[in-house]
Structure 1
Amino acid sequence: MRKNPGPVARIADLEREPFSQGTSYESQDTPLGERLGLTAIGATYIEVPPGKSSCPFHNHHMEDEMFVILGGQAEYRFGDRSFEVKAGDVLGAPRGGPETAHKLTNTGEAVLRYIAVSSKADVELCEYPDSGKFLVSDRRDPTGPASFRHIGRADSSLDYWDGEDGS
């Protein structure tokens, strides 16, 4: 990120951060929101190679997301439905439970290019219905990383008083 964000970012000139996990996940991302000086809206430019996804199937309890497809084609898995999407399509992922879980998978032969835009909550809870995980994070500084982050599974919960004096 530039030291002094400005109101204009040219996607072609932005440095991308490569990411890969296993055989299913790979992308090159560029955080745009911070670059543009935004504090209440998140935005990321994402490129995904054919056959890959940038993240697992998940839903947000506090943040809405929107995806603007700039190039390529993909399957948009949303809740219990799937949609074929392509350049020019705009996708919504409202906050909610597993019925709003979502995932984009590049089904084409070209790189999938899109911008992900989201609201930014101070505290977020994400669920991952396929793996039964959840993520809780707290972002006290809206421009910085989460100050608290925990990934777990609901089936391994503790009693409220576990580990407290007198339990």
Structure 2
Amino acid sequence: MNENAESLSRRLIRNFNTAPTTHDVREPLYDSIGARLAPGTAAQKLGASIDTVAPGKMSCPYHFHYAQEEMFIILEGSGTLRVAGEMLPLRSGDVVFIPPGPEYPHQIVNTSDQPLKYLSVSTREQPEVCEYPDSGKFLAMASAGGERVFDVVQRRSNDLDYWDGEP
């Protein structure tokens, strides 16, 4: 490949089989290996990650986004989509569409005895607020230039008056 082709390849192509991964574990419920694929690419509005959830575990808490839309493509294994108070079966080949908003809180659970592997694709709308109905928390975040420049996790019960601390 020439230099221009190599540069294009670095900006436009990621292989999820060779992407660097992180292993997130929080016993007893959460255990997943994942790789974020979009950082360092030319992607402006899309994010992507590949996740493998251990048998009987979850990758993240039940939540919904106020800005971002998500799509999950089940590549290997089976499990359950907890969504809007229901439990829906998932299997290899399924594509899940989750629009933003409180109507579709969601969580993927590996209810099988084999690993569950899926590709996540999302819009990267900023700023973003993500709410966690089970724990009463929310995450407010903003990014600039591909770097997270603000994030705060709080409970609604920590709410302050608009004028608190102002002269």
TM-score under structure 1 normalisation?
0.90
Residue 76 (structure 1) aligns with: 81
**Residues 64-112 of structure 1: per-residue CA shift (max 9 Å, x gap):** 0010000011110111211000100000111011x21000010111111
1:46 pairs, out of 44, 47, 51, with 51
Aligned to 2:4: none
User: Quick one: percent identity of the two aligned structures?
Assistant: 34
Q: Would you say the 8 A contact 1:50–1:112 is kept in 2?
A: yes
Q: 8 Å contact 2:19–2:37 — kept in the other structure?
A: no
Give 2:14's match in structure 1, choosing from 4, 9, 16.
9
Structure 2 CA distance, aligned partners of 1:131 and 1:28?
A: 23
Paired residue for 1:124? Answer: 128
Aligned to 2:119: 115
Unaligned runs of 5+ in 1: none
SS at match of 2:17: helix
What SS is found at the alignment partner of 1:6? helix
Q: State the Cα deviation string for residues 12-64 of structure 1 (Å, max 9, x = none).
A: 22221111112111111111122543121010010111011110000000000
**Match of 2:157?**
155
Q: Secondary structure at the match of 1:110?
A: coil
Match of 2:107 in 1: 103
Moved over 6 A (4+): none
Amino acid at match of 1:96: G
**1:164 maps to which of 160, 163, 166:** 166
CA RMSD, 1 decimal = 1.6
TM-score, L = length of structure 2: 0.90
Structure 2 residue runs without a partner (length 5+): 1-6
Letter paired with 2:133: P
Is this contact kept in 2: 1:5–1:34, CA < 8 A?
no
Distance 1:35 1:69 in 2: 25
> What secondary structure sits across from 1:37 in the alignment?
coil
